[in-house]
């Protein structure tokens, strides 16, 4: 189907030239040729051969899961979060508070349950880590509850066993080990912050004093804790309040996405940039190799190899010393010789940042990233201490560490060495997948085969379970009792919403069996928690209801710097070798460390950089790709660290030269329906000595090519100025700068649209100054609206079904771009082009201004999609849910129609939530829905509250106030479609001394 490009207003010669892909930036013939076509060739053709079968396995599951899951509620008493009648009213969801431990902290959640089926996750507003919102990981983890590959029983050497048999074995093994005081037993856990699990492990050490307990995390915090030990003499737990910072410097730290308490940090960062409230915006400097979410939000970003970041940090410390900032005896002098070898541009950044930090005492903060050595963390801490940025009411606070256990790669190399010395007879692995994600030099898969008895607790038969003698099926987080402490020490409870679908057990229960006890998970968590309040029972019930123990946060610790230890460490610091190419490893955008690889929602979610789905790639800068003679999709061999991998190339804007960005977590070898043969396992070149950043690598082109499933060039806006930004100086001179456009021809209105001046008029405002492009909103929309996945073949054919997408625009050269993210969804236009061309009136305007879809009317002409200038309508080519209704309906939201083949679908502003609120208002005798009673799925999920929804006819509503912002503008006003969504332009706070850097 062809479409005629709309006439554009004359170009503004001073306007930014935004681009979304290298093809668009270069104006390649292929890109220009693709523009007139609504969909690429073959978009309407069905998948062929293995592709179709693979698609079915992505979405399919046995009907047995449906039989097991119906109305399975735990026997223990759990407390609904909201006030509901004690009896369950069919059709009315219940909400329960629980906790999602992840990334070294714990996020409080509210989980929606329909007749005993968990279907949707929201943030708990009473929890300090979630603040009522979520991340994309916490939105998506609910799908793993209904993973078709979950095992339904224990297995011993591949043979199915009952839990009675497994329990008998564990108890007998525990008795045998007691006779030898636990000698030969090693318990390997994931990194955790659970007081109940810690208590169980203490009990194990007391009963079996010669047993060893070790902990391992593929993306460890060891460097950070060792940096705290160097700087202050002990490991601590750091929390950031970026709302109190005016100058923020991140050293390879993705503080808005993956490092630390990301929701709280992002919320604070955005609060410090609310120019509509008269706030002078903070300034963010990002020093990094890969363009991260934080880098995309930077006011100034320096692309630099990760192995050069230590030199930058030490040069910054030395420069601050010259400006009179006292870092402690000899620290600045010791740092200066270690800060050599920087480029002139990097030196310019050092001077400008140091000057600004010195002038912002008490309001400047430097944050080192997880990948950086302990010495960099220590120097950052001393800088913050010298700048008076640490303490109560300051940007940086320290709390007591949960424990002092290490969880880095050396844990597994040491364990493998112990196994090789025949020191381990019984290995109990509680969660995780060390055979897959251990450092390559640990050779853990070989080591585990030498253990007499190995036991693995996991939800699926993964790479580790394939190697152990026993596999124990584990409960999902929504099926088990537990607890967790967040970074600041706040304690919350993990409570189940559904009885275990396959009678799985948690790590608490497995340890209880080994110790010969009979307590349930509920008993153990309750026993741990009852001492937290004077009125224990009342406190327990309140904590279940609220999802958090009020007042349980740890006090802020006073810290005393130890500059002598840091000086000594700097003297011995050798840094990372500068030989060859650099390789960095980061969590995969779809699979994290592999734990989410079987999650179809996440696999189909475009990554923030190049919008890749279903796989990973080697990220190269434009200049490095030219040096190697490769382009997007070319397959290269990356060699080093005693191994090699073959992987396709993705040219990533903003990537440092001579640095290869690799993600870890894809390329799973286990027989998993979704993850099998998706992506490349980068583990073979990830060794303990270069677990995060490594040197000495080379790359050669193989001649192969892989067509990646990317959405980068899908639904192009053809250069129209849809994302707008300006500097803070521009904003101060003219707050309405975003409304200014180039001269355009006089408009003639050929269509009279209805005016909604009574009742509700629903609308939305999206603040680009707050949007990080994190995609939590996209996943939330998918979970709420029963949006299917289409698989890699479908994405390649431009058939992805997301109702909401995140467009990332670049300005400048591919190597040194500035970026901006823009959520794009149905604009609910008052003069909607889609409504004017539908031959059967399937898409119509509601009395409240919604652009509605009547699915049973739609005959699939796709005229509406052709006429939509925003490209936000999705055509359901196939009945994606037909072959697996019994499984998929377990997670489906019963308030949203499950669409069939041949209909058009799109954002509805979550009309089901609107109608529910209207019914409740009418029930309560109110004539209007109160402002704030409705939150769309995307709005509720957004960690920075960039999205506001409400009634535009209420002048006091939050959305009316946001829409009236001086920064507000509507999209494509020159074609008179009158969107209901107002965007607020982004503001950059530039340092004049770095203009042109």
Average pLDDT, stretch 750-762? 72
Q: What is the pLDDT of residues 855-866, one digit of tens each?
A: 999 998 999 999
pLDDT on residue 455:
97
pLDDT of residue 52: 42
Least confident of 62-71, 607-616, 654-663: 62-71
**pLDDT at res. 4:** 35
Q: Where among 400, 423, 439 does a domain terminate?
A: 400
- My answer on whether 807 and 944 are in the same domain is yes
Look-up of token digits 């707008």: 724
d(CA 784, CA 122): 11
DSSP 82: S
Same domain, 813 and 846: yes
Residues 800 and 914 in one domain: yes
Does 795 share its domain with 934? Answer: yes
CATH of the domain at 724: 3.30.70.20
392 and 423 inside one domain: no
Indicate if the pLDDT at residue 266 is higher than 90: yes
Evaluate if residue 853 carries a pLDDT over 80: yes
- Domain membership of residue 514 (yes or no) is yes
pLDDT attached to residue 65: 37
Give pLDDT, residue 744. Answer: 65
Angle between helices 521-529 and 536-546 (to 10 degrees): 110
Nearest to 939 by CA among 950, 953, 931, 952: 950
Quote the strand ranges of 795-857, DSSP E: 805-812, 817-824, 843-845, 851-853
Q: Is residue 719 pLDDT above 70, yes or no?
A: no
Task: List, for residues 569-625, the tens digit of each pLDDT value.
Answer: 999 998 778 999 999 999 999 999 999 999 999 999 999 888 999 999 999 999 999
Q: What is the pLDDT of residue 237?
A: 94
Confirm if 864 and 837 have CB atoms less than 8 A apart. Answer: yes
774/906 same-domain check = yes
Continuous segment of H or E residues that includes residue 384: helix 374-386
- 696 is written with which tokens? 């000495």
Q: Which residues pair with 453 in a beta bridge?
A: 426
Under 8 Å between Cβ of 480 and 496: yes
CATH number of the domain at 528, please.
3.40.50.740
Does 588 share its domain with 697?
A: yes
Q: What is the 3-state secondary structure (H, E, C) of 273-285?
A: CCHHHCCCCCEEE
> Within a domain: residue 112?
no
Residue 15 phi/psi, 5° resolution? -75, 155
pLDDT value of residue 479:
94
What percentage of the chain has pLDDT greater than the value 70? Answer: 87
Exposed e or buried b per residue across 609-625, where buried means at least 16 C-beta atoms within 10 angstroms of its C-beta = bbbbbbbbbbbbbbbbb
- Within this chain, do residues 920 and 790 fall inside the same structural domain, yes or no? yes
Tell which of 695, 710, 725 closes a domain: 710
Rg (C-alpha) for the chain, rounded Å, is: 28
C-alpha span between 810 and 830 (Å, rounded)? 30
Average pLDDT in the 119-134 region? Answer: 94
Q: Count the neighbouring beta carbons within 10 Å of the beta carbon of residue 322.
A: 12
Split into its structural domains, the chain has a count of 4
Give the whole-angstrom CA distance, residue 117 versus residue 98: 15
- The pLDDT, as a whole number, for residue 534 is 56
Q: What's the pLDDT score for residue 63?
A: 33
Query: Could you give the CA distance from residue 289 to residue 692 in angstroms, rounded to a whole number?
Result: 12
Which band of pLDDT confidence, cut at 50, 70 and 90, is reported for residue 6? very low
CATH number at residue 694: 2.40.40.20
634: domain range? 576-710
Which tens digit of pLDDT belongs to each residue from 170-212? 999 999 999 999 999 999 999 999 999 999 999 999 999 999 9
Instruction: Examine residue 877 and state whether it is found in any structural domain, yes or no.
Output: yes
Per the domain annotation, does 116 fall within a domain? no
Q: Give the integer Cα–Cα distance in Å for 147 and 64.
A: 12
- List, for residues 14-45, the tens digit of each pLDDT value: 456 666 666 666 566 655 555 555 555 555 55
Instruction: Name the residue among 948, 938, 788, 824 with its Cα closest to residue 123.
Output: 938
Residues 926-935 have pLDDT tens digits of 988 999 999 9
Separation of alpha carbons 602 and 631, rounded Å: 26
| Res. 981 pLDDT band, cuts 50 70 90 | very high
Asked which of 155-164, 575-584, 712-721, 769-778 is least confident by mean pLDDT, the reply is 712-721
Per-residue model confidence (pLDDT) at position 813: 84
pLDDT of 73 over the 70 cut: no
Q: What are phi and psi of 626, to 5 degrees?
A: -65, -40
User: Does residue 293 fall inside a structural domain?
Assistant: yes
- Token code pair at residue 713: 């060039």
Q: How confident is the model at residue 881 (pLDDT cuts 50, 70, 90)?
A: low
pLDDT of 745 higher than 70 = no
For range 361-380, the mean pLDDT:
96
**Do both 439 and 357 map to the same domain?**
no
886: pLDDT confidence band, cut at 50, 70 and 90? low
**β-bridge partners, 114:** 117
Asked if residue 93 belongs to a domain, the reply is: no
41: Cβ contacts below 8 Å, ≥ 6 apart: none
CB contact set of 868 (below 8 Å; sequence gap of 6+): 833, 834
916 and 773 part of one domain: yes
Q: Which of 362, 380, 400 is the last residue of a domain?
A: 400
Tokens found for residue 33? 């040729």
pLDDT at 752: 65
Give the model's pLDDT for residue 92: 80
> Diameter of the chain by CA atoms?
91
The answer to whether position 88 is within a domain reads no
Average pLDDT on 776-788 reads: 94
Whether residues 928 and 860 share a domain: the answer is yes
Identify the pLDDT of residue 873.
93
The whole-number pLDDT of residue 585 equals: 96
Q: Locate tokens 């909607």: which residue?
A: 832
Q: What mean pLDDT is reported for the chain?
A: 88
Residue 729 within any structural domain of the chain = yes
Q: What's the average model confidence in pLDDT over 689-697?
A: 95
The percent of residues in the chain predicted with pLDDT above 90, rounded, is: 72
Indicate whether 979 and 839 sit together in one domain.
yes
């Amino acid at each position: 189907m062809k479409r005629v490009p709309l006439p554009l207003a004359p170009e503004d010669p001073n306007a930014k030239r935004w681009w979304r892909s290298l093809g668009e930036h270069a104006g390649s013939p292929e890109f220009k040729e693709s523009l007139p076509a609504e969909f690429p060739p073959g978009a309407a053709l069905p998948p062929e051969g293995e592709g179709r079968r693979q698609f079915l396995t992505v979405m399919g599951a046995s009907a047995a899961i449906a039989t097991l899951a119906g109305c399975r509620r735990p026997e223990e008493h759990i407390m609904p979060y909201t006030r509901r009648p004690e009896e369950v009213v069919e059709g009315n969801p219940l909400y329960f508070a629980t906790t999602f431990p992840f990334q070294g902290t714990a996020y409080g959640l509210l989980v929606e349950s329909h007749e005993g089926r968990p279907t949707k996750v929201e943030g708990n507003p009473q929890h300090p880590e979630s603040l009522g919102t979520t991340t994309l990981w916490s939105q998506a983890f609910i799908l793993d509850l209904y993973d078709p590959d979950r095992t339904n029983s224990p297995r011993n050497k591949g043979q199915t066993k009952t839990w009675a048999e497994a329990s008998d074995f564990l108890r007998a093994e525990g008795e045998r080990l007691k006779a030898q005081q636990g000698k030969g037993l090693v318990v390997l856990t994931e990194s955790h912050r659970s007081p109940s699990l810690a208590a169980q492990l203490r009990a194990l050490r007391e009963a079996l004093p010669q047993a060893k307990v070790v902990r391992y995390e593929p993306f460890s915090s060891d460097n950070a804790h060792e940096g705290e030990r160097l700087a202050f003499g002990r490991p601590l737990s750091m929390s950031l309040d970026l709302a109190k910072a005016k100058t923020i410097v991140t050293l390879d730290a993705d503080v808005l996405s993956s490092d630390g308490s990301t929701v709280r940090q992002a919320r604070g960062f955005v609060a410090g940039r609310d120019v509509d409230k008269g706030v002078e915006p903070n300034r963010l400097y990002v020093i990094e190799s890969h363009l991260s979410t934080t880098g995309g939000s930077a006011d100034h970003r320096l692309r630099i190899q990760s192995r050069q970041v230590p030199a930058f940090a030490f040069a910054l410390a030395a420069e601050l010393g010259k400006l009179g900032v006292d870092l402690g005896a000899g620290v600045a002098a010791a740092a200066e010789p270690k800060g050599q070898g920087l480029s002139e541009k990097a030196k310019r950044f050092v001077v400008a940042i140091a000057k600004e930090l010195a002038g912002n005492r008490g309001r400047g903060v430097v944050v080192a990233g997880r990948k950086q050595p302990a010495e960099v963390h220590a120097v950052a801490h001393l800088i913050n201490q010298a700048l008076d940025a640490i303490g109560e009411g300051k940007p940086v606070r320290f709390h007591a560490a949960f424990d002092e256990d290490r969880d880095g790669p050396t844990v597994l190399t040491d364990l493998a060495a112990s196994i090789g010395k025949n020191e381990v007879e019984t290995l109990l692995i509680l969660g995780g997948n060390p055979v897959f994600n251990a450092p390559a030099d640990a050779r853990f898969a070989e080591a585990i085969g030498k253990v007499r008895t190995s036991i693995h607790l996991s939800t699926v038969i993964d790479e580790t379970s394939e190697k152990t003698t026993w596999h124990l099926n584990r409960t999902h987080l929504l099926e088990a009792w537990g607890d967790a402490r967040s970074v600041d020490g706040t304690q919350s409870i993990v409570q189940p919403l559904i009885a275990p679908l396959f009678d799985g057990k948690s790590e608490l229960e497995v340890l209880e069996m080994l110790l010969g006890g009979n307590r349930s998970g509920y008993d153990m968590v309750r026993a741990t928690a009852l001492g937290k309040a004077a009125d224990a029972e009342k406190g327990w019930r309140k904590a279940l209801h609220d999802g958090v123990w009020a007042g349980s946060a740890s006090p802020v610790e006073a810290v005393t710097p130890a500059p002598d230890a840091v000086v000594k460490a700097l003297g011995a610091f050798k840094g990372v070798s500068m030989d060859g190419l650099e390789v960095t490893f980061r969590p995969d955008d779809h699979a994290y460390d592999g734990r989410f690889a079987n999650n179809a929602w996440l696999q189909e979610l475009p990554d923030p950089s190049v919008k890749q789905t279903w796989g990973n790639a080697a990220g190269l800068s434009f200049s490095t790709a030219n040096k190697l003679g490769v382009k997007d999709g070319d397959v290269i061999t990356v060699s080093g660290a005693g191994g090699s991998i073959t992987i396709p190339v993705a040219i990533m804007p903003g990537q440092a030269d001579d640095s290869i960005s690799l993600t870890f977590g894809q390329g799973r070898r286990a027989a998993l329906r979704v993850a099998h043969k998706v992506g490349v396992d980068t583990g073979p070149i990830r060794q303990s000595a270069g677990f995060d950043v490594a040197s000495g690598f080379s790359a050669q082109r193989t001649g192969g090519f892989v067509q990646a499933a990317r959405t980068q060039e899908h639904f192009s806006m053809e250069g129209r100025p849809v994302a707008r930004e300006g500097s803070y100086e521009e904003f101060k001179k003219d707050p309405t700068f975003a409304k200014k456009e180039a001269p355009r021809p006089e408009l003639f209105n050929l269509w009279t649209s209805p005016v909604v001046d009574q009742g509700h008029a629903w609308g939305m405002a999206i603040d680009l100054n707050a949007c990080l492009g994190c995609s939590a909103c996209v996943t939330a929309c998918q979970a709420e609206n029963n949006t299917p996945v289409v698989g890699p073949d479908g994405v390649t054919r431009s058939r992805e079904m997301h109702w909401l997408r995140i467009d990332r625009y670049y300005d400048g050269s591919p190597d040194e771009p500035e970026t901006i993210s823009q959520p794009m969804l149905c604009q609910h236009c008052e003069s909607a082009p889609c409504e004017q061309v539908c031959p059967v009136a399937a898409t119509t305007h509601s009395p409240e201004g919604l652009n509605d879809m009547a699915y049973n009317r739609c005959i699939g002409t796709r005229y509406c999609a052709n006429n939509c200038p925003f490209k936000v309508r999705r055509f359901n080519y196939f009945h994606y849910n037909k072959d697996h209704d019994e499984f998929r309906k377990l997670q489906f939201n019963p308030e949203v129609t499950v669409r069939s083949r041949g209909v058009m679908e799109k954002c509805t502003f979550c009309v089901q939530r609107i109608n529910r609120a209207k019914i409740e208002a009418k029930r309560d005798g109110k004539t209007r829905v109160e402002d704030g009673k409705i939150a769309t799925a995307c709005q509720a999920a957004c960690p920075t509250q960039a999205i506001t929804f409400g009634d535009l006819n209420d002048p006091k509503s939050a959305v009316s106030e946001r829409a009236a912002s001086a920064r507000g503008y509507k999209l494509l006003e020159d074609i008179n479609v009158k969107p209901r969504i107002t965007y607020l332009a982004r503001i950059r706070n530039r340092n004049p001394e770095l203009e042109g850097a």
